[in-house]
Amino acid sequence: MSTESPSTAAPLRTAGLTSDKPTRPRGAHPVLTLVAQRVALGLLLLFAVSVLIFAGTQILPGDVAQAILGQSATAQSLANLREELGLNDPAIVRYFRWLGGVLTGDLGTALSSGQNIASSLLPRLWNTLFLAFWAAIVSIPLAVLLGLIAVRYRNGAVDKAISGLALASTSLPEFFIGYLLVFFFAVKWQWFPAISTVYEGMPFLDRMQAIALPATALTLVVLAHMMRMTRAAILNVMQSAYIETAELKGLSAFDIIRKHAFPNAVAPIINVVMLNLAFLVVGVVVVEVIFVYPGMGQYLVDHVSKRDVPVVQAVGLIFAAVYIGLNILADVAGILTNPRLRHPR
């Protein structure tokens, strides 16, 4: 017979109930914390890149004032121009003046033409993004599909053929692929123009025909890498125990890959896709030069030859921001696809 009184037993039972229930300390969600860390790290990295870009353009050989006025310029005119451009100020002062302009949307003025850099870059940035967009639209689904087919028929003739073609495509640099496309499709067969001329207000179909060859070159460059990484990511998941369980249940090979392996391999595949998207925007310089495409890369090369430092700085910083931004998106996508982080205990 229990000697406990109701007044003492109730607190004990209440204490027992509350002590058995696990509690999680209040605070920010792990996903939000990781995303905030990635964004902060990206901003810090972009700041470091801006320092490197500015320092790299300052140590280039030659004199900006001399390049603008020519070899016949007098010493007094050179000194006046250096003073006007602020070249006599300390490097740290010039850097923060440039960085302050960038933060307010002022990228400066091109030394060679006197035009506003931001207004000149905007249509060229659109052209580069347009080219990269259509290359991505073709390459990403095709790479994932070929990766799934290679896994489905792994170690077979189809897998070896796809992997062999991908390896051969990866081994060829983009300028070589571009020249091959020009030779066959523009010179020999004359299906597409060799020079990709686009302009504002150009009809859509004409624009698509103009970018056909450079977009194909970019597609072939990134397709092989994405396909091989997709295949490797899915094969890595195929070694898991739950895949063996699905096989024992009698599911077909394609259903196992589509329903079980592929969803669990999405995170590394997204990372690879984002990295290749960054290449489509940042690594487009060579392709744009080959096809004389009026994008960011062509604009950069034209002004490097003129030693137009403000243009080089602006284009380099935009390329860096795009590359870092897409890498942050890849990290965030990897975090969001991790169920352990989405549903913490």
Q: State yes or no: pLDDT of 193 exceeds 70.
A: yes
Q: What is the pTM of this model?
A: 0.79
Q: Is the pLDDT of residue 257 over 90?
A: no
Q: What pLDDT was estimated at residue 49?
A: 93
How does residue 343 score in pLDDT terms, banded at 50, 70 and 90? low
Domain covering 117-342, topology? MetI-like fold (1.10.3720)
Cα distances from 24 to residues 14, 28, 29, 33, 344, in angstroms, run 19, 11, 11, 16, 10
Give the number of other Cβ atoms within 10 Å of residue 253's Cβ.
Answer: 15
- Judge contact between 242 and 155, C-beta under 8 A: no
Domain ranges, ordered by start, for the chain: 117-342
Above 70 in pLDDT, residue 342? no
Distant-in-sequence, close-in-space partners of 196: CB < 8 Å, separation ≥ 6 = 210, 211, 213, 214, 291, 292, 293
CA–CA separation, 78 and 59 (whole Å)? 19
Per-residue pLDDT tens over the stretch 78-99: 788 777 777 777 888 888 988 8
Q: Classify residue 60 by its DSSP letter.
A: S
Q: What's the N-to-C CA distance of the chain in angstroms?
A: 41
pLDDT above 90: percentage of residues in the chain: 18
Q: What is the dihedral of CA 61, 64, 68, 72, to 10 degrees?
A: -70
> In whole angstroms, what is the distance from residue 314 CA to residue 309 CA?
9
pLDDT at residue 15, rounded to an integer: 47
What's the pLDDT at 331?
A: 81
What number is the average pLDDT over the span 181-187?
91
Q: What pLDDT, on the 0 to 100 scale, is given for residue 28?
A: 59
Residue 278's alpha-carbon distances to 42, 80, 92, in angstroms, are 14, 42, 30
DSSP 112-140: TT--BHHHHHHHHHHHHHHHHHHHHHHHH
Give pLDDT, residue 12: 46
Angle, helices 91-103 vs 309-336, to 10°: value is 60
pLDDT digits (tens, 9 = 90+) for 112-123: 777 888 888 899
Query: pLDDT digit string (tens) for 16-70?
Result: 444 454 555 455 567 788 888 888 999 999 999 999 999 888 777 666 776 677 6
Average pLDDT of the chain is 81
pLDDT over 70, % of the chain:
87
Better pLDDT: 3 or 56: 56
Number of helices (H), then strands (E), belonging to the chain: the values are 18, 0
pLDDT at 208: 93
Structure tokens at 10: 């109730």
pLDDT digits (tens, 9 = 90+) for 295-341: 898 888 888 877 788 888 999 999 999 889 988 888 887 777 766 55
